[in-house]
Structure 1
């Protein structure tokens, strides 16, 4: 602690605070809160439950950001006074408390800084996540289910509402695919960095010879569409099939043709939905997911065209973005960011914020790099 420079640490914390406040645009944030408060006070707000939940959720998130900024400002002022008091009275305990607090403030500022880096077009939205098993047979199906549990536990740990919309079970164990929705502000901004191919290395519990097995699963993340997105899908562009829902339990949903499969013929995108008991509800949910995927596809095509015009055709994401190794050693490592941990069980229990935060910072740096290359190509 003898080498600790309190003034420097406090100065760095204040600089980061000012940067965050500028990025969040407090005046705009307060104006948004007023607008959301007006919407929330409308007597007919809850006539549309989904819209009402979105308004109240966005209002709570915006108010939380302002409160965090105000609290951090107060803590910065208070810790400076505390340190000066400790120096005046030559109280080592008070000085130590001030040093601990400024460190805690820096940690909280780092966490809040992540929010300012989620500035993509759809980052504020809820997320629709689809997990599919890949190469690796039954181990891959089991791995896909492990990933679904990991993300649902992550949502639970953070207090986010998650709803499983569709599950296709594999014959022996695990799942072929699953789709779920996470409703929280910036859910897409956070989870979008999880999109890509995930790889698991372990001793297979399904191999009677106890051999090591490598298996793969794909994670797709799209933003939840909103009415303002205007994704028109002509009826002639889709094929709708209905069938009996499947899954464990033998519930009532398994006895009627309530499940829906929609195929978008121009792109061959297929969406299945069976969570709801009503065929009408499943069709509406499937159309919403299809619109989300088409929205992302349109966005990717526009981005690809811009890169081609700029002379940059490199892919932004590799085919394999993270490895989970359970044998011969314990390690989870993100191959883009380099972030890693040996606490594999904690990761599968939903402790993935470190990976997500590192991914958001990496994505932000990639965007800056791409912008710089585009600027160079125009000059």
Structure 2
């Protein structure tokens, strides 16, 4: 029975590896790496710093992807050999080591499978995340700040680099809104499944009668635009206002008019930026985020047109996507995927991998079903 179980687990692991290798297309991956290596070795590459950084970053990511795939293939062979030798010699320690290695290898394969499902046009980009407090008064503002902390902790755990670009503080506690940028491999692909309305149910720390309060906050995730995206924004479409940066309670961050409020007149989109010391830097950062939002808007309009032509496609994301309940019981549940956990503190400390992985699988399934309709 033990031999059968191990053989079955090993066969399933090999089948998953073959599926991943087919999705990645190893031959195409090796060809891409060779081309990138040729570009990286060109002395003229660094004449264009932005392009050079993109080439070297992409090369590193693709080399890492290929190395992991080759390592897993070798590990599966080694595990099979180790187990067979242990069985022949009745060496229980060797067989247990092989079982343990197979468990960790299957986990690695699951992580690799998730990356193959992030096949959207912008999934490999950096992400710009905006959190806004919703219904719930001061509790909602506090909830928005809790979400900000949660995502910054997630970025740290994931090895991403996060930078807060703008924060609007609420009067009593918490924040009205916050925008931050997350840089890392497939940051947008992962965080994009976090977009939607997040609901918190708890005993309000701001209610002297200790009543239960439901609060809402909205999370928006967009990909960071690149120079090649060609989003033209005429100067006549923009109004720019400057003001002094400020912190909690009106405390001044500096005494110059470095903060920027950029308004896109045709759409009414407003971007505020006060993280940088220089007005020029804040204006450039605000313009980059505006272009990102216009790019998303453009694709949403295109998707709407396609939807109208194709008819109604079921399983839209909807507004409320996750509930966080702290009273009368402890539970965080994703309403799209059904994934849930009672480890609420772990979630608030940034342990979101299981939720994000489930979201990516759910999204991939919806896309596949939509394509079949």
TM-score where L is the length of structure 2: 0.95
| 1:149 maps onto 2:149 in alignment | yes
Instruction: Find the counterpart in structure 2 of residue 308 from structure 1.
Output: 308
Q: CA deviation at 1:44?
A: 6.5
SS of residue matched to 2:241: strand
| Structure 2 Cα separation of the partners of residues 220 and 347 of structure 1 | 19
- The C-alpha deviation readout for 1:98-151, integer Å capped at 9, x for no partner, is 222222211111111000000001101110101111111111111111111111
Task: State the partner residue of 1:127.
Answer: 127
SS of equivalent residue, structure 2 residue 254: helix
Q: Counterparts of 1:178 and 1:48 in 2: how far apart (Å)?
A: 33
Query: What is the alpha-carbon distance in structure 1 between the residues aligned to residue 47 and residue 178 of structure 2?
Result: 31
Matches of 2:253 and 2:18, distance apart in 1: 54
| Displacement of 1:11 | 1.2
Aligned to 1:324: 324
Contact 1:244/1:256 (<8 A) preserved: yes
> Does 249-258 or 261-270 show the bigger shift?
249-258
1:293 aligns with 2:293: yes
**Deviation, structure 1 residue 52:** 4.8
> Pairwise mapping of residues 223-242 of structure 1 onto structure 2 (< 5 A)?
223-242=223-242
1:349 is aligned to 349
SS in structure 1 of the partner of residue 246 of structure 2 = coil
Write out per-residue CA displacement over residues 68-98 of structure 1, whole angstroms, 9 at most, x where no aligned residue. 1011011000011111111211222222222
Could you tell me how far apart the structure 2 residues matched to 1:298 and 1:177 are? 24
For residues 35 and 248 of structure 1, the distance between their equivalents in structure 2, rounded to whole angstroms, comes to 50
Q: RMSD between aligned alpha carbons?
A: 2.0
Aligned length: 373
Q: Which residue of 1 aligns with 2:258?
A: 258
- CA shift, 1:32, in A, is 2.8
Q: CA deviation at 1:196?
A: 0.3
Deviations 1:205-259 (A, max 9, x none): 1111111110000000000101111111111212111111111498874311111
Query: Distance between the aligned counterparts of 1:47 and 1:355, measured in 2?
Result: 42
Aligned residue in 2 for 1:137: 137
Distance 1:322 1:3, change over 3 A: farther
Per the normalisation by structure 1, the TM-score is 0.93
- Looking at structure 2, the residues matched to 53 and 129 of structure 1 have their Cα atoms a distance apart, in angstroms, of 23
Please say if residues 246 and 252 of structure 2, whose CA atoms lie closer than 8 Å, have aligned partners that are also in contact.
no
The range that moved more, 182-191 or 94-103, is 94-103
2:14 corresponds to which residue?
14
Change (3 A) 1:273 1:51: farther
Structure 1 CA distance for aligned equivalents of residues 313 and 104 of structure 2: 42
Matched residues in 2 for 1:211 and 1:10: separation?
A: 53
Rounded to whole Å, the distance in 2 between the matches of 1:348 and 1:4 is 41
Structure 1: segments with no counterpart, 5+ residues: 374-379
| CA drift at 1:165 | 0.7
Take 1:338 and 1:114, find their aligned partners in 2: how far apart are those partners? 18
